[in-house]
Amino acid sequence: MSTGSKWNNGNPYGRCAKFSPHEKKFIRMMVEKYSHIVENKSSSNAEKNKAWDEITTLFNAEPDHTKRHIKHIKKCYENLKARDKVLNRISRMSSMNQELPDIINGNSISLQGVSMVRVPPQSNYSCQYVQNSPSVSVSNDEEDDSVLNYVDVVVTEDEGQHSEEYFNAPKGQTRYQQAAGPPISCLQAQRLSNQIKYEREKYLLEMEEMKYKVDLAKIKLMQAREELEFRRKKWKLEMDLLVLKSSGDGKVCSGNSIVSCVGGWENFVSDKGNVPGKGKIKLENSKHSSLGSKQETESD
């Protein structure tokens, strides 16, 4: 059984006498001495329990201390840590309040007062923050070791408005409420206005981009039409040239096709107007044969 288990009527989980300020100070000193074990996350549970046993032994060895169980000493230290954490947060809030700039319509948010109430309700522990004073006063009258369960933070404007909204915080935690009032609404309205302005500029840019794309498509379509017209005229000229050549050689051509070419070459069609190699050879052979027949006729 751990040291101090015989105290408090053998019930380590029951309530004990209140810790005096001297006893709390002694517990802080002992925990600070063993902080390399107690506050070290890498320490094992066995090492931490051994350290707390030693702290309890040293605590109970003092003649002016009430005999305590190890669990009561640990609980007292946890409550002291919770109070220190709350006071540190209040101190940070007070320093932030003093440095808060006046940015919206000349209205600044200031911390008017902070009150802390704990459970059970019959206890009188309280912490009061005085405006324009960085110090925090704490009354320890009839103080026991219950954890703070209620924390009320009232934040109002300089005009003297007060918030009446209060809420509960889970055990071991601290929650704050800030009643900002109209400045927050002005800030939200400004943010909404900036968002609308951004969306409008984005829409105009997208519309301008679409307009450029339409103009580019029109230019490409015009270029394609001009190229098609150019090829059509080129093809027509080549066909006309082919017709002229064919008519000069005594060939019969009609329309866009050449019919009844020399040597039985029929239904000859050329899309580009170029005469194939075989057609050229046949035409040249026909020329030579016709010239030869004329010369024989003249000689006779």
**The pLDDT of residue 185:** 74
CA end-to-end span of the chain = 153
pLDDT digits (tens, 9 = 90+) for 119-171: 444 444 444 444 444 444 444 444 444 444 434 444 444 444 444 444 444 44
> What span, in angstroms and rounded, lies between the C-alpha atoms of 234 and 236?
5
Say which DSSP state 254 is in.
E
> What span, in angstroms and rounded, lies between the C-alpha atoms of 82 and 92?
16
Taking the CB of residue 30, how many other CB atoms lie within 10 A of it? 21
**141: its two tokens:** 């009258």
Q: Cβ distance 177 to 152 under 8 Å?
A: yes
Q: What is the pTM of this model?
A: 0.31
pLDDT digits (tens, 9 = 90+) for 235-279: 999 999 999 988 876 554 444 444 444 344 444 444 444 444 444
Q: How many helices (H) and strands (E) does the chain have?
A: 6, 6
Say which DSSP state 134 is in.
-
Beta strands in 135-287 (DSSP E): 136-139, 150-157, 253-254, 257-258
Beta strands in 91-135 (DSSP E): 109-117, 126-129
Please enumerate in sequence order all residues whose Cβ is within 8 A of that of 98, keeping only pairs 6 or more positions apart, or say none. 134
Q: Tell whether the torsion through CA atoms of 93, 96, 102 and 105 is positive or negative.
A: negative
**The pLDDT of residue 101:** 52
pLDDT digits (tens, 9 = 90+) for 75-120: 898 888 888 888 888 888 777 666 555 444 444 444 444 444 444 4
pLDDT digits (tens, 9 = 90+) for 32-79: 888 888 888 888 989 888 889 999 999 999 888 888 888 888 889 888
Alpha carbon 103 to its chain centroid, in Å, reads 26
